[in-house]
Structure 1
């Protein structure tokens, strides 16, 4: 089954957008549209809609958000303020909160505009409604062993419509106990969902529906009893006083099985039940169908028996019967044609009334005197079988005869044009100038309407070499006419099936060309300090010929504030190029002197703050050792040639291409650009500065060498001496632990330096002791780490990154000497061998 149902909306939502298009006029003169009380001078520089793409099923909704980026570096949600522009407003609607409501399955583009700024274009795709819930009916059922119960599975869609999926190939039926009852599934003949009682007990009937969006399930309870069929009856649901059936009509018969426990079951559509009639000339009856068995059709006047035969599982045959009496055909319905029609106010339509007989024949009763016609309301008037439109809207007409009635729907549309007149009938205009024509339509309701700009009206000139005319009836002189005027014709398409266009024409005489105008472009230009902005000056003749006079000797350029911006003027070329000197607004004016008059035009040029143009990272191609740190700097060169240190700017990010070789700080308020060597290798350090116009970056190469030790020096001393501070000195052989300081910790430090005496970072030091006699091994520890503030020692063996390695000894020892040694492995040595330093340590008692 295809779940992508194409469900079309009944009503289209028409969005009124005039006030949004005229947003400045709807804001009572308040130019501060950002809702900040009018105290902000921030302007919108960019408008962004998100998300860029969105898919919405029919019946669900989506959201769009509009964000304004301001020239002060901030941003603001303006969803409630923008004017939404939907490429196809038959696909979706969008409210003031940005909620998107789908109308029909299709894709459209959406833009937003606000304060003169147009946003990016995003895509909204409306797809078919999706299944969101599954329901099985009946919710509870009971049958006897050997009998059947049909279940129905219904999918509830996201648009609240329902679809019966009982026999869908994506739906699977199941019984939790097939020994109690089985159920058909996967059948190709639409016989799924039929449960058959197998033995006494209860089971749960389940349905699982698999869709593109997931799996839906539903259940029903089924009880199977042990009762057996004992008799069969045939009845009809018709009223007892209806004893006959006219030719052509049908009558439903019901077969009811009575069980041994006095329960009853409707077996009308059971496969084990067969229907028949005694005389098929008088009546036939349906049998052996998946559904709708037991329906008798009257064929000819007379009387015959209706027989139902039921075969039980144990081979018994039960028979039930009834009688059908067939009479002559009767009128069963009245029809009006057309069923639905539409016509404009002032025009009319005729209708036909037909009686439908029970034997399928029909009789035209339109002119019968007994037939009456009535209108639903005063949108139409009725004269016999003819309705005339009086007011637009939907209404109806009813015909009645012999106790039967029928209705038809009438849609009265707005009046349509029936006659057209062009005004004025004769006009004249110089070459390059214009003459306005109007088209007036007389409507079907006798009113008149100006259709000059109507999209259904087209204008044409019989000689475009002399004069042209646009879609709004504005004619433009091209060449002086000789003797005969140009004929301007208006043709109005009538929006009614089969209607021909209506036309009218007027004469236009074209005379010689006259005066000129001057235009400076662009308008409302802006550029940062130090960045050039080119302006052009164009003189337009009345015959439509434009001339670029930017570098013309007769034209001069000026700035009304040379300290804010200067402009090049009266040079052989490159005139009209303005350069901003400081932030502000200035008027740029072009003045052209002609033989008859002086023409001027002025445009506003906004000089904005200088912007970064290039970025430099220093130092360049640096080399350092593991464990060392180095500060890098980022310097931006601005459009006004000044420079700025942007190392810690929140718009700048630092990056190391290989953080296993070196890391660099970034994202803090300060302290950014600090590189730490991690391991031997090469990496690239990059700084990226994000601006309103994108981003700029620069990179430099960095080499990290592995630190190498040359000399290892040991110092030691008791922790927290008499002065309350750690004391340490070189550890000559024989340094000892005073007897009075038993169990007091001593601190040993190993300091690595290179061949030049500089500290070496990022190495490992291994500590060893021997020969000490430990009185209590549980109390003896060597701790290799710095001492905490509270005097406690925290064990740590990974000491990479420290130039001084600290170890403390705490414990209870017998008297004697111990040998304490520290070793730098050969990997961290510049000799290729281990570097060791050893001292004797005395443990007195």
Structure 2
């Protein structure tokens, strides 16, 4: 019996030997245990394998592990990612490849000493959208509107592409388009479109009739020898305003005291010659306006530069202003008349041309002296200087103002951007950031020089307004600030002026602000919007012999100046609105 069992055991053992050998063999000496069923990683595959992206764009890569049993598993979060050329594209720990410059790079994913790769090609930036400035303008018959086209690219940069796009008018019976210039032909509305390749942008242009003209500054008093730019503003039938300075015919009633230039490009420029009084008149298309001008014997005493001894970060800019004080204690802004210099252009340069006059642009760390000088016909050479310190402070955040505003259709909203830096300093970056509206169907915002940050609502709804700091062609500090905006249609119920009981010294100025209150059409209640510098708001003084108030230029709108001691009523009124709540008043005291 035992012999039979032993023989059976030997027989079974002999049958199992090939199976055991099969279990131990194969795999080139892997040494697996008997009946070992372990699944091992055989390779890593990266997809997409050869993506092509435009500069400024990203691509999400996926690392897939392929195992010995044929199964596949997503390993994107556990592999080690790297880029052979991080200057062209970097890659995050999760496999997000971020373009940095044009070229090619290999992205690798490593797990258990197994490598998978993809080759990424970064192409030139592509145009993504076109914004036209100004948005929704109105012009008078016989005048023209110059448009600007701003292109936004895939790398989040912007560029003026006005001369590169093709311009067109949808209704040439209302206005024709020649290049970026639209010429009014008849009253009505047309759509102006700018197209480059497959991308286009558009805005409506309204041609309206001219109702009246007014001149700024009004009832001015100017020292002899000082040059002053006068502006003729047309009030149009649709309630809008248009600068008609270049179209008007200018006349001075007493050219012995002051002359006014009637030749382009200096139309409206007044040169004061001797103490006395004259009347400046501007006329266009059958409408005219006149304003008295008094020329005094006051002489320039000093110049003061503001801000004094400021500090800014590298790659930012700062506007300097030169204020002249005269022998009668009056003050005038001489920024555009003085000569500006920087003692060290390696630290900061300063502009002496056009609308950028007095703007200092920082180049490198250090200190430079900013000087403003003028040669006065009567006082001789007068100058002032201040130091400008440029630091290596880093931009940490941007604050966009106003925050979470609600505005009414038919108005505009000026936004500002404050840069907050690592050294605790703050700086106005409004003219240096790239502005965006997340919903261009509801609102557009300008990036054109002279109107940066000016938002125009197009329909009721919401949008997010963002400001991103840029320097040169590409971002150095990609810092963005955002705020929400609600656009409502509402009924105007009142205007309040702040401060409510203002006072100013004779010869000095004070900035007033105007706030409109609306009843929301959707029944959500009331909301308030600042209209101080709105084109729809007009400021006036009941007695210009006591105080004047500015309507043009826009940046100074609502600025009152004391002329003589006394009290006067200042009014802020929304034009083309007849309700009792369309205006507000404040009694100004001049000391």
Which structure is richer in relative contact order (CA contacts within 8 A, separation 6 or more)?
A: 2
Q: TM-score range by the shorter chain?
A: 0.3 to 0.5
Normalising by structure 2, what TM-score? 0.41
Normalising by structure 1, what TM-score? 0.30
